Amino acid sequence: MQDYFTDLHIHLGSTLSGKPVKITASRKMTIEAVMEEARTRKGLDMIGVIDCHVPEVLVQLGNLVKAGVANEQADGGIQFGETTLILGTELEIHDENCQGLIHVLCYFPKRETMIEFSRWLSERLKNITLSTQRVYENAVVIQEKVRELDGLFIPAHVFTPFKSLYGKGVVQSLREVFDPELIDAVELGLSANTAMASALSELDRYSFVSNSDAHSVGKIAREYQKINMMEPTFEELKAALHERDGRGITANYGLDPHLGKYYRTACVECLQVVDGVGAVVEGCPGCGHARLTKGVSVRIEEIRDQAASSRERPPYIHQVPLDFIPGLGPKTLQNLREVFGTEMKILHEATFEQLASVIGEKVAQLIVKARRGELTFHSGGGGRFGRVK
Per-residue pLDDT reduced to its tens digit, 108-126: 999 999 999 999 999 999 9
pTM: 0.92
Q: What percent of the chain has pLDDT over 70?
A: 95
**Contact at 8 Å (CB) between 367 and 323?**
no
- Residue 258 and residue 43: Cα distance in Å, rounded? 26
Mark out the alpha helices in the chain (DSSP H runs). Answer: 31-36, 55-66, 111-122, 139-148, 194-197, 234-241, 296-303, 330-340, 343-348, 352-359, 361-372
DSSP label at 219?
G
What would the 3-class secondary structure string for 169-208 be? HCCCCHHHCCCHHHCCCEECCCCCCHHHHCCCHHHCCCCE
CA distance 158 to 102: 8
Q: Are 292 and 324 in contact (CB under 8 A)?
A: no
The pLDDT, as a whole number, for residue 190 is 84
Q: How distant, in Å, are the alpha carbons of 151, 179, 186 from that of 183?
A: 10, 7, 8
Residue 94 has pLDDT above 70, yes or no: yes
Contact of 196 with 297, CB cutoff 8 Å: yes
Q: What are residue 134's DSSP bridge partners?
A: 92
How large is the average pLDDT for residues 26-52?
A: 95
pLDDT score, position 349? 84
pLDDT of residue 277 exceeding 60: no
Phi, psi of 236, rounded to the nearest 5 degrees: -70, -40
Confidence check: pLDDT of 381 > 70: no
Q: Quick one: which of 361, 369, 359, 355 has its CA closest to 329? A: 359
> Which burial class, exposed, middle or buried, applies to 369 when counting CB atoms under 10 A from its CB (0-12, 13-18, 19+)?
middle
**Digit-coded pLDDT (tens) for 234-276:** 999 999 999 999 999 999 998 888 777 888 888 888 888 876 6
